[in-house]
Amino acid sequence: MSAGNDHDPNPSEDAPAAATEPLLAPRDGVPDVVTTAAGAEEAAALLARGHGPLAVDAERASGYRYSARAYLIQLRRDGAGTVLLDPIPTAADLGSLAVVINELEWVLHSADQDLPGLEELGLRPAALYDTELAGRLAGFPRVGLAAIVAQTLGLELKKGHGAADWSKRPLPDSWLNYAALDVEILVELRAEMAAELDRQGKSDWAAQEFEHIRLAGPPKPKPERWRRTSGIHAIKNARKLAIVRELWSTRDEIAARRDIAPGRILPDSAIVAAAQAVPRTIGDLRELPVFGGPRQRRSSRAWISAIERARALPDAELPPLTQQFDGPPPAARWSRHHPEAAARLTAARTELSALSEEVSIPVENLVSPELVRRLCWDWDLAATADAVEYIYSRFTAGDARPWQRELTAPLLAKALTDAQ
């Protein structure tokens, strides 16, 4: 459960049930953190003597660091106990550990958050079980680790350090206790979730989802990420948008080089304020909020240079006021200019919502909403001899899993045909 992303969106929904037993400390105590090559070798030998799947977690420093690297890795296997590993001093010494654990099934909660950082260290599972995704497929209303543990195992797993700065050294004892508890009962939780999915007839669906996550790799960067600057909607001028873009890019380069979260280099609000004011000198820049502070004064030349580059751009190189999309425009715009596509999307969403209720799986897990949106936009009944086969092929190309295609294609074919 990586920092900043190991809970449900509403923290109150992650609260344990009333009749739970507090889980306050690991049953075997908190082990010393492995920080040396010799310690990594010993950890590999210890885990090799264990049996069954491997519980895995990694703590990042989201909100503090630019990278998604792991700053602490927690491993636990029956018959071996728990290993806490500091991957910063041991990154070059994990060969023996990889030989042991890369052949195992890993059990993680929200695996897609941790796998990229572990992959950077040469650690990758032969098989995967994601207890968070299992909870979604099983129809659990709350899928944070604490909530699922309370519902299935009757244990209260106290949280509190998930959003901490795990790049801090030394790590406080209370943080290490929290980290060890995160893998303490993952294998037991896996058994409970597997039994529940088997009872619901969803084990094969889950296996397909887990394998998809295991092989997916890191997410592709979103285009024009600078347009996600908070407050950018207030900018209505292309030249000022170019200033936002240049300041954002400069900040991103500095953040990547120093491995500091971009917002800690320069807040979005300062970028928007500078774009609105268009300062022409360092003195003008320092009159603005944030830029006059001691930390920002040292970077004044970098910021004013970014603004100067934007001011010097020819009109033809200014960014458009709205983002250019690869594919259909946002669905909210369809009803006015593309009512037929909007009607198809409404019909598709209605059908998928009913199916979601029927099988107790969130709509977004039935099939990617983006695939559905593109299908409804591109739909051409005249050119489609077999609607089901057409949808099946589109979803296959979009990396939908077999269970998703088989479950949704016939329903969507009828819905879109009727909406024509």
CATH number of the domain residue 304 falls in: 1.10.150.80
288 and 339 both lie in a single domain: no
21 and 142 both lie in a single domain: yes
Alpha carbons 111 and 123: distance in angstroms, whole number:
13
Of 259, 290, 317, which marks where a domain is finished? 317
Average pLDDT, the chain: 93
Residues 6+ apart with CB under 8 A from 57: 1, 73, 74, 108, 109, 114, 179, 182, 183, 186
Alpha carbons 208 and 162: distance in angstroms, whole number:
29
Alpha carbons 320 and 322: distance in angstroms, whole number:
5
Q: Which domain holds residue 257?
A: 225-317
Sole residue written with tokens 């409970």: 192
Total domains, the chain: 3
Contact 135, 153 (CB under 8 A): no
| Residue 244 belongs to a domain | yes
| Residue 322 belongs to a domain | no
17 and 100 both lie in a single domain: yes
Task: Report CA torsion sign: 364, 124, 71, 218.
Answer: negative
204 and 304 both lie in a single domain: no
The pLDDT of residue 161? 83
Of 289, 317, 345, which marks where a domain is finished? 317
Question: In terms of C-beta density within 10 A (0-12 exposed, 13-18 middle, 19 or more buried), how is residue 7 classed?
Answer: buried
Alpha carbons 334 and 332: distance in angstroms, whole number:
6
19 and 154 both lie in a single domain: yes
Nearest in space to 139 (alpha carbons), one of 360, 356, 364: 360
26 and 102 both lie in a single domain: yes
The pLDDT of residue 339? 94
351 and 404 both lie in a single domain: yes
| Residue 52 belongs to a domain | yes
Two structure tokens written together for 394: 């589109």
Q: pLDDT tens digit string along 158-172?
A: 877 878 999 999 999
Distance of CA 286 to the CA centre of its chain: 36
**Helix, strand, coil % in the chain, rounded to nearest 5:** 55, 10, 35
| Residue 241 belongs to a domain | yes
Q: pLDDT tens digit string along 3-54?
A: 433 434 343 444 444 578 999 999 999 999 999 999 999 999 999 999 999 9
Alpha carbons 110 and 144: distance in angstroms, whole number:
9
Two structure tokens written together for 23: 């889980």
| Residue 3 belongs to a domain | no
DSSP letter (8 states) at residue 166:
T
Task: Using alpha carbons only, give the angle 189, 163, 220 rounded to the nearest 5 degrees.
Answer: 85
203 and 260 both lie in a single domain: no
Of 192, 216, 240, which marks where a domain is finished? 216
73 and 211 both lie in a single domain: yes
The pLDDT of residue 384? 67
Encode the chain (420 residues) as per-residue pLDDT tens digits. 444 334 343 434 444 445 789 999 999 999 999 999 999 999 999 999 999 999 999 999 999 999 989 999 999 999 999 999 999 999 999 999 999 999 999 999 999 999 999 999 999 999 999 999 999 999 999 999 999 999 999 999 987 787 899 999 999 999 999 999 999 999 999 999 999 999 999 999 999 999 999 999 888 888 899 999 999 999 999 999 999 999 999 999 999 999 999 999 999 999 999 999 999 999 999 999 999 998 899 999 999 999 999 999 999 999 999 887 777 888 888 988 899 999 999 999 999 999 999 999 999 999 999 999 999 999 987 766 789 999 999 999 999 999 999 999 999 999 999 887
Walk across the sheet containing 72-78 and list its strands. 33-34, 81-85, 72-78, 51-59, 105-108, 127-130
372 and 398 both lie in a single domain: yes
Two structure tokens written together for 120: 């950077």
Strand partners, 74: 57, 84
At position 165, the amino acid (one-letter code) is D
| Residue 6 belongs to a domain | no
Nearest in space to 147 (alpha carbons), one of 49, 40, 8, 42: 8
| Residue 168 belongs to a domain | yes
127 and 178 both lie in a single domain: yes
CATH number of the domain encompassing residue 134:
3.30.420.10
The pLDDT of residue 18? 55
At position 73, the amino acid (one-letter code) is I
163 and 251 both lie in a single domain: no
| Residue 5 belongs to a domain | no
